[in-house]
Chains A and B, each alone.
Chain A
Amino acid sequence: MVEPMSDPMSDPMSDIAPVRRVGPAVVWLLATFVVCGSAGAIDDDVVVDAGPDEAGIRQPHLIDLGANFDANLFEQHGNGWVLRGGQGQEPPGPRPSPALERARELGRKRIERMAAACTLTAEQQRRLALAVESDARRFAHEVEAIRTSYIGRQIDMNDQAGQKAWHTFQSDVGKCRDSLRNVFHEGSLFAAATASILDDRQQASLAAEDKARRSFHWRTMVLETMSKLDESLGLDQRQYDAMSTELLAHEPPLRNDPQALGRIDSNMRRQLVLMVMAELDAKPLRSAVSERQWRVLSLQMNQGRAMRSVIEAQGLLEKPR
């Protein structure tokens, strides 16, 4: 059971109550301490140099790029950035490449998902696993080359050179994020192997499963967004139907692998739907709503339209062939 947080404002005296309990003797003692202390403290502006660990805690503007690399590439959901202050600590001794581990894990899940959709034979699973291992190693090789250059490198965000280094770091991590998104995608050995290893029936099952998942997630995004529009515009059923039917009929090429779907938050889902809405023929939409509703809706659609580049940069849509 979580207790409600006490509101300090409800007891304006709570933070000074201890003062009342201080006796006169303590006040005298305090005065003596201050007076005596002043006589010897001629120069009280001496800076005491903290040890290396304390420096990290007290100086959050010092950033260890090695520690931030893994956090931003593997732990950050969406396209945001985490910035962890202080010094990172690499565990002693050799450890497996986090890039290789992550890619293997994603590949394993891919195969499991395929097996559930189209029943793979043991031999097919073995060959797909080999393709996964090859792609994972290629990915890890690319990432480790960049990652290694940041290990143990500390920058000061308070100076210009440090900020410049942070921007370069963001660009490098961005490239690695892109590689991670596409590690088993078009151009990968896994994608090529899938096409050659699976028979026609399996390919058809897999395609049907993918299509069903894509449609399901699009329908969810449309209905979630429509529930927001319902609230903010006061729609009736006819207006709702006019908008949602058009949206459902214009399903975008969503990437429906768990990586892409897991990265998209509720705001991005809404923007994606508004982007699609903004690219529809405006006339039927315009005629379905009132002038007051259109003022709000057109504003939101414009925001959605402006989000296309962000949505594409996050790899939420399949690239046009």
Chain B
Amino acid sequence: MRLRSHARVLATLAALLLSPSAVRGDDPAAAAAKAAAERDARALGWLLQQGVRALAAPVNDPQAADQQQRQQIEQHAKQLERMFQPVLNSELELIRRCCGGLEPAARRQIMAAGREAVAAGARGFTERQFNGQLGRDDFDPRREIRGRLEKALEPLADPAEFAVYREQAERREARRAEAARLSILARVDRQLDLSADQRRTIEAELTRSWRPQWTRELGNRGDMRVNDYPPAPDDAADAIVPHLAPDQVAAWEAWCRAAGARLLGQSFNLHIDGQGIQQSDPWWSP
């Protein structure tokens, strides 16, 4: 290490130059200069030490960096599992209501699958978070957890009960879709003062041309302010604009230019719908 020896030479030189013997005289100015010199010598020594440490560090070790990131993802995902636990508990609640005839052994299997699902959801979320990919694909930890539970449930549940569960899950999606449509419409109404007729027509149009990704409106993105506007739901423009009056169209266009939601991309609300069922249900661990 050539630079390490440079550092040693420098430290020696600094010690020589700034040693107490370098300052002569007993007057206060000389004493102050001496104190300043000692302080600087210490600072220089510290600086050199830091420099040498940095120089001694590995030059470029992608494997080490990769391993470090993997460890960080593991640790972070483990912490997130606690946050995703209520998603599992609420889904188990619905399954219990629909499939009350599940045998104890089957319940244990579903519970085990649920734990794995939570771990997978947390891991998938964390990986995307670390790689800057969160919200860039359609990954949703809730869907991940529910999908895995459903897969585990199907072979274990009575077919009639499983059908009830499937129906309830579909109805829940339909309810979310209706809430999202109203949420979009309410934001447009707050901004453009729609008439009752316009609201009715646009709601029907949003239903007719429904897109599943609009459910993201149910997060809290509507609370954002972009250029002093809430985000304009311009990805639903085809269902909205044809039913606006000319002055509303002008206001809509200005709104979209200033705060179009298309510019915001997808977002995922880490805060999973408030407090969920925190405690595990003992029915699932007979």
Which residues from chain A sit less than 8 Å from chain B, CB to CB?
2, 4-7, 9-13, 16, 19-20, 24, 27-28, 31, 34-35, 37-39, 41-44, 75, 77, 109, 112-113, 116-117, 208-209, 212-213, 216-217, 219-220, 223-224, 226-228, 230-237, 240, 258, 261-262, 265-267, 270, 290, 292-293, 295-296, 299-300
Contact = CB atoms under 8 A, between A and B. Distances in A.
Contact of A233 (B178, B195, B276): B276
B229 to A, nearest CB: 10
Interface stretch (B32-40, B104-112, B234-242): B32-40
A34 B44 contact: yes
Interface string B71-98: 0100000000000001101111110011
Contact of B193 (A31, A41, A112, A292): A112
Interface string B8-31: 001001100110000000000100
Contacts of B132: 4-7
Nearest to A42: B32
Contacts of A27: 3, 6-7, 10, 51
Contact of B37 (A4, A6, A38, A236): A38
Contacts of B249: none
A251 to B, nearest CB: 15
Given A24-B6, A39-B33, A296-B276, A237 B218 contact: no
A86 to B, nearest CB: 21
B57 interface: yes
A115 to B, nearest CB: 11
A290 B220 contact: no
Contacts of A31: 10, 13-14, 44
A234 B273 CA distance: 12
Contacts of A219: 182
B133 A10 contact: no
B13 A232 contact: no
Interface in B94-122: 94, 97-98
B182 A236 contact: no
Contacts of B223: 265-267
A219 B7 CA distance: 73
Nearest to B196: A212
A7 B76 CA distance: 15
Nearest to B132: A4
Interface stretch (B155-163, B168-176, B252-260): B168-176
Contacts of A220: 179, 182-183, 185-186
A90 to B, nearest CB: 21
Contact of A42 (B33, B183, B199): B33
Contact of A12 (B68, B176, B281): B68
A315 B60 CA distance: 60
Contact of B273 (A11, A112, A232): A232
A213 B93 contact: no
B179 A227 contact: yes
Contacts of B275: 232, 296, 299-300
B274 A232 contact: yes
Interface of B: 2-3, 6-7, 10, 13-14, 17-18, 29, 32-33, 36-37, 39-40, 43-44, 47, 51, 54-55, 57-60, 65, 68-69, 72, 86-87, 89-94, 97-98, 130-133, 136, 142, 168, 171-172, 175-176, 178-180, 182-183, 185-186, 189-190, 193, 195-196, 199, 218, 220, 222-223, 225, 228, 245, 265, 272-279, 281
8 contacts: A4-B131, A37-B40, A39-B33, A216-B185, A231-B273, A234-B94, A261-B190, A265-B222
B18 A35 contact: yes
B142 A231 contact: yes
Nearest to A221: B186
Contacts of A267: 220, 223
B228 A35 contact: no
Given A24-B3, A216-B199, A292-B93, A223 B178 contact: yes
Which of B39, B92, B136, B218 neighbours the largest number of chain A CB atoms within 10 Å of its CB? B218
Given A236-B98, A292-B93, A113 B193 contact: yes
Given A20-B59, A24-B3, A213 B176 contact: no
Contacts of A208: 196
Contacts of B228: 75
A6 B47 CA distance: 28
B82 to A, nearest CB: 15
A292 B277 contact: yes
B32 A228 contact: no
A37 B94 CA distance: 73
B220 A266 contact: yes
A61 to B, nearest CB: 25
B69 A4 contact: no
A231 B179 CA distance: 13
Contacts of B222: 265-266
A187 to B, nearest CB: 24
Nearest to B171: A237
B277 A293 contact: yes
Ranked nearest first, the 5 interchain pairs of A and B with the lowest CB-CB distance are A4-B132, A234-B93, A234-B90, A38-B40, A234-B94
A43 B32 contact: yes
